[in-house]
Chains A and B, each alone.
Chain A
Amino acid sequence: MGRKLLLDKAHIENIRYYDVYRANGGYESAEKALKMTPELVLDEVKKSGLRGRGGAGFPTGMKWSFIAKPEGVPRYLVCNADESEPGTFKDRYLMEFLPHLLIEGLLISSYTLGANSCYIYIRGEYAWIPDILEEAIADAKKNGWLGKNIQGTGFDLEIYVQRGAGAYICGEETALIESLEGKRGNPRIKPPFPAIKGLWDCPTVVNNVETLAAIVPILRIGGEEYAKYGTGKSTGTKLISACGNINKPGVYEIEMNISVEEFIYSEEYCGGIANGKRLKACIPGGSSVPIVPANLLLKTAKGETRMMTYESLSDGGFATGTMMGSGGFIVLDEDQCIVKNTLTFARFYHHESCGQCSPCREGTGWMERVLKNIEKGKGKMSDIDLLWDIQRKIEGNTICPLGDAAAWPVAAAIRHFRDEFEWHVLNPEESQVRNFGLAHYADPLEIAAPAAV
């Protein structure tokens, strides 16, 4: 059994309630932190090597140290619970089953940052979770962990839950801030960064739910000890939400030292591919990260075992690697159509583009339409190159990374599965009644894999 830091107590009955959580060592990290100076807590977080779990993987300690501290201006901590990247459903698990773990993390983090108000921005569709969180917040307050003069330290904190209303883009931190201000979720043009000018133009830190929850074990065992979990710069544990064609979809906590193969095939985690099928491809970090065929998933282009770490997953760059992203692990079996899957992602990003900047606003819809033609057997060979060109002209040219997120899945699908796209074009009728199948996508690679495009 892999070591756990976040879900170690998830099996305890009623752990979602204050008394049970407290009786099982809950709020002890907060007790410890409140006796330290904020600087010392920050040191522990820096030592832990914790990297943001929201997708970008930016070191949390460093991010916190950037927050501006002008005299007399309030600072804010915002918890990003917008969780909308297809394949990702881990934050939901934490909030539903371990709300106090999150609240404790928010308390320690707010104390460290000197924030007296903290907002949890949760996606609107998780409509029942605010009730769970608000109940937990009320209980924590009743027990002196929130409100005024917390545990006699003189530190005040209020936590509020704000519901979004259906917009993936509000997961982008500046769009989230706009939305929290009661506006359209249009990402801001940076700089200025939120650490200088965020919520209501005050210094603000936005962190993912899992990142903030991970602060609790860091304080419990110490930053140095936390850094001993995992591999290299991928310290600690990571929640992976596994879905698609596997036997046991669900949320797993892994120590970042296991191989992708073990994660997919072991009974402890995904339990192998469903219905005895073979593995065709995988998108290991949420819909926006590059899809890779089976042969590049389990081994890197250099022939090394691919591990569930930030570094190993991205080994080979976009040519042969992918990314850890948000940990939304999507598995495709041999019966799945890459074109169709790519189409649903393109449709998703088209649907979610805020429409502020022209490459994303116009390009995402265009990609969806071209992909739809190919998928329906109405595509032309030149459409594949057209798609490549459209994604290329979106990537890197937009205000926020949603443009990239829309471009990457299309690029990677064409890069690795061009045969399958061509087959759709050349066999318009057949492609409507059967799938391309596994083809050569699981064949062992002999040499360093080429980038097809």
Chain B
Amino acid sequence: MAEEKKLFKVKIDGIPVEVEPGTTILNAARQIGGDIVPPAMCYYSKLQGSGGKCRTCLVKVSKGSEADPRPMPKLVASCRTTVMDGMEVANITSPEVLDARKGVVEFLLLNHPLDCPVCDQAGECSLQDLGYEHGADGTRYEFKRRTFEKIDIGDKIQLHMTRCILCYRCVYTADQLTEKREHGILGRGEVSEISTYIHKSLDNEFIGNVIDVCPVGALTDKTFRFKNRVWFLKPVDAHRDCDKCCGKTVLWLRGDEVFRVTARKDKYGEVEAFICDTCRFDKKETKDWIVEGPRKIDRHSVISQGQYVGVVKPHDALPDVLEGRQPKLLMNIHSISQVNRPEIDLSKIEGPAHSDDFKN
């Protein structure tokens, strides 16, 4: 039937938008785009049941709906709250929201090692972005951070649990993309962790996608050669004929060398389509691929600085990328990082920083 669906009128930070019933506040905001989109660390539109956990996307519903204009008593997770007709939402215009978000960011970073200088994800880490945008200058946490040994789950994926923010995305990915989930959340509360319990390798044609969905550097690609800083690599869109997945990927190149293969991500850090492990791990030659052209990165994240010409020291470019704002985390990294090696000057390291540079 071609019956026209009634659209709901919603206002977010004063900006009107019309969306289909059943749309979440977050997705309505994404339809508007720009600064008013709440940050989302756990929600992932392609994973059913995701969201609601990290609480970074909290917003204020200042008017419930046309029918019931009462405001909602508490801040709500925009990723899991559907809009009502006439709803009005405040995100960046609400001091209460910004304050709560600052709290959430502090909680997320509380036990985070802040080892960005040695983390493979640096430059494309949602938590790093979030820290820049919403974080406080330092930490008020005076206790020992919880730490875990990093472990290899199989020969392709490395788990660095200390960095995990327990967003559950990788669990949903394994549940929804693979036949049999082998890893999960063990333990309870503060000491819960992603694990396989008994050392097992994750083996499945699509399990590599956990690397792409992980918002931080907890799950990383072991086949990523030389552990290069991503901003020294040139991302290009490429594709190949693949019988398992769409075959549309991003190759991360230095010269003609393929350093790693990932799925294509949109500006919210979500993959456009999941890719199979063959494309990701086994096709590491340019001849395996048809290169389409440079990947345009429109995330305002630190990753973009790789596209600036003539950058020598990574952190010099940061204020530019951040539109003049001073980055808060990287600058102080030595004082608050567990990789506390103040004698190491990042700028003196030849080429990209390597975790070996920080070894004792």
Contacts and interface: CB of A to CB of B under 8 A. Distances in A.
A358 B191 CA distance: 12
A351 B189 contact: yes
A392 B100 CA distance: 9
B143 A369 contact: yes
A397 B55 contact: yes
A354 B74 CA distance: 21
A359 interface: yes
B74 A358 contact: no
A167 B166 CA distance: 20
A278 interface: no
B188 A354 contact: yes
A363 B107 contact: yes
B245 interface: no
A92 interface: no
A46 interface: no
B190 interface: yes
Contact of A393 (B51, B106, B190): B106
Contacts of A394: 103
B143 to A, nearest CB: 5
Given A355-B192, A366-B110, A397 B100 contact: yes
Contacts of A355: 166, 185, 187-192
Nearest to B102: A393
Given A352-B189, A354-B188, A361 B166 contact: yes
Contact of B140 (A359, A386, A398): A386
A149 B124 CA distance: 64
A365 B143 CA distance: 10
Contacts of B80: 189
A357 interface: yes
B104 A358 contact: yes
Nearest to B191: A355
A362 B55 contact: no
Contacts of A353: 188-190
Given A386-B140, A393-B106, A358 B77 contact: no
B111 interface: yes
A358 B108 contact: yes
B190 A357 contact: no
B335 to A, nearest CB: 19
A369 B141 CA distance: 10
A150 B185 CA distance: 44
Nearest to A383: B142
Interface string B47-84: 00001111100100000000000000011010010000
A362 B110 contact: yes
A350 B104 contact: no
Nearest to B167: A358
Contact of B189 (A350, A359, A369, A399): A350
A427 interface: no
Interface residues of A, number: 28
A366 B103 contact: no
Contact of B185 (A184, A365, A396): A184
A432 interface: no
A266 interface: no
A350 B190 contact: yes
A15 to B, nearest CB: 39
Interface in A395-411: 396-399
Given A355-B166, A357-B54, A362 B185 contact: no
B165 interface: yes
A355 B171 CA distance: 15
Interface residues of B, number: 32
B53 A359 contact: no
Contact of B188 (A167, A358, A359): A167
A393 B189 contact: no
A445 B188 CA distance: 44
A363 B58 CA distance: 17
Contact of B53 (A350, A369, A399): A399
Contacts of B166: 355-356, 358, 361
A355 B165 CA distance: 10
Nearest to A169: B188
Nearest to B107: A362
Interface in A373-404: 386, 392-394, 396-399
Contacts of B185: 184, 355
Interface string B103-130: 1101110110000000000000000000
B190 A359 contact: no
B48 to A, nearest CB: 13
A364 interface: yes
A393 B103 contact: yes
Contacts of A362: 107-108, 110-111, 190
A394 B190 CA distance: 14
B36 to A, nearest CB: 20
Contacts of A184: 185, 188
B189 A361 contact: yes
Given A357-B55, A397-B58, A366 B141 contact: yes
A366 to B, nearest CB: 7
B190 A364 contact: yes
Contact of A398 (B55, B168, B190, B191): B55
Interface in A330-374: 350-359, 361-366, 369
Contacts of B187: 355
A98 to B, nearest CB: 33
From B58, B99, B106, B107, residue with most partner A Cβ within 10 Å? B107
A244 to B, nearest CB: 27
A434 to B, nearest CB: 27
Nearest to A184: B185
From A350, A354, A359, A369, residue with most partner B Cβ within 10 Å? A359
B82 to A, nearest CB: 9
A186 B140 CA distance: 28
A356 B185 CA distance: 10
Given A184-B185, A357-B55, A397-B55, A189 B190 contact: no
Contacts of B54: 357-358
Contacts of B165: 358
A40 to B, nearest CB: 31
Contact of B107 (A189, A356, A359, A386): A359
Given A354-B188, A366-B141, 12 more contacts: A189-B77, A352-B189, A356-B53, A357-B53, A359-B55, A359-B103, A361-B107, A361-B192, A362-B108, A393-B99, A393-B100, A393-B103
Interface of B: 51-55, 58, 74-75, 77, 80, 99-100, 103-104, 106-108, 110-111, 140-141, 143, 165-166, 168, 185, 187-192
Query: Top 3 A-B pairs ranked by shortest CB distance?
Result: A393-B103, A362-B107, A189-B52
Interface of A: 167, 184, 189, 350-359, 361-366, 369, 386, 392-394, 396-399
17 contacts: A184-B188, A350-B189, A354-B188, A357-B52, A357-B54, A357-B55, A358-B53, A358-B107, A359-B104, A362-B110, A365-B189, A366-B141, A366-B143, A369-B143, A392-B103, A396-B75, A399-B53
